[in-house]
Each structure stands twice: as C-alpha cells, then as structure tokens.
C-alpha cells in the first residue's frame, strides 16, 4: 500500500486472499507499469501463490522484523513460488524496521544475521523497510527493476546492525 499510494495507514489489516495493485513509474524516458500481487501470508492462501508468481519478473518475500516466525515461513513461500517460477528475481524484505529499533540490541543482531542467512539461501537482495517512517519502501521496487532490466542504480548498500539493512547484490 505504501509503495502504490504513498500513504501509511496504521489500521491496515493483513491481506486476505490476493490483492492486486498497479503503479506507473518513469524510468529515464520509459514509462513502466508495475503490477503487484499481494498474497495473504496465512497458510490458507498458499494455494493462490502460483497464480500470482507464475509470470512474475520478481518476487518480494515479506516478513515482519519483530517476528522471527514470519522470516522462517519464507522458506515455504519460496519453495511454493519456485515451483511455478524459477526465473523470478527474489528480494527479501523485512518490514517494521521502526519497531525493530525498539527491541533489544541482541534481538536486532540476531534478526540481522538470520535475514542475511535467508537472503544467501534464496540468492536474494535483502532490504529492511518501515512504511510508517518511509524507510527504503521505494527502493525495493527500484532494486527489482534494476535487476530485471540490468540497469545500474545509485543506491548505496547498508550492512551495519542498527541501520536499515539494504543489500541489492545477492549474497553468495
């Protein structure tokens, strides 16, 4: 929602089923229409994943930085998406970075290491975001588009714990 409408709704409810959104962006002199299928993260919506990922150029795997379980669930979502599309560019996105900063340093370091481990396993870029504080939200799609069309981007990578992780080169 934040990416498409540039608004943040603190009462936003999690997606049930599949939500479709589009946004047109200008890249140099080219207009690009970005189509986003937001598949609900609950197990009962996993069967809808193939529909949303079959022809996708990229897949954004989203987890809550304050919930280790949501990151661990990414394994299943990746297997599911990979069964219908092996060529999509993966990006691992941790949300609620602002809330992560309120947690103890030990947990911040733990989730940072775990996210890097998962990104390496997925051969994915990894970005920590905050919709409420507008941190890295727009950069996720810029990274995806740059990879899809083999473009150079001027986004500096951030690797330090205590800063919003942003690695656009897959961890090998």
pLDDT at 96 over 50: yes
Taken in order 146, 143, 122, 19, the sign of the CA dihedral is: negative
pLDDT at residue 4, rounded to an integer: 54
Select the more confidently predicted residue: 17 or 152. 152
pTM for the model: 0.82
List, for residues 122-131, the tens digit of each pLDDT value.
999 999 999 8
pLDDT at 170 over 70: no
All domains of the chain, ordered by start, with CATH? 41-167 (3.40.50.300)
pLDDT digits (tens, 9 = 90+) for 132-147: 888 888 888 888 888 8
**CA–CA distance, 127 with 138 (Å, rounded to integer):** 11
Q: Strand 18-27 relative to strand 30-39: parallel, antiparallel, unpaired? A: antiparallel
pLDDT band at 2 (very low <50, low <70, confident <90, very high): very low
Average pLDDT, the chain: 82
**Tokens 């083999």 -> residue:** 150
C-alpha to C-alpha distance for 140 and 146, rounded to whole angstroms = 10
Environment class of 17 (CB within 10 Å of its CB; exposed 0-12, middle 13-18, buried 19+): exposed
């Amino acid at each position: 929602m934040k990416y498409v409408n540039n608004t943040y709704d603190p009462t936003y409810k999690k997606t049930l089923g599949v939500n479709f959104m589009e946004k047109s962006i200008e890249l140099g002199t080219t207009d690009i229409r970005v189509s986003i299928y937001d598949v609900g993260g609950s197990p009962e919506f996993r069967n809808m994943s193939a529909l949303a990922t079959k022809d996708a150029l990229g897949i954004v795997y989203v987890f809550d930085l304050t919930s280790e379980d949501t990151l661990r669930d990414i394994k299943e979502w990746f297997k599911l998406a990979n069964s219908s599309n092996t060529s999509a560019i993966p990006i691992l996105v941790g949300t609620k970075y602002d809330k992560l900063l309120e947690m103890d340093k030990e947990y911040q370091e733990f989730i940072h290491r775990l996210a890097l481990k998962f990104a390496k396993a997925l051969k994915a870029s990894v970005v920590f975001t905050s919709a409420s504080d507008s941190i890295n939200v727009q950069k996720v799609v810029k990274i995806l588009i740059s990879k899809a069309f083999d473009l150079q981007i001027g986004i500096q990578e951030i690797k330090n714990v205590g800063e919003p992780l942003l690695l656009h080169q897959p961890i090998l």
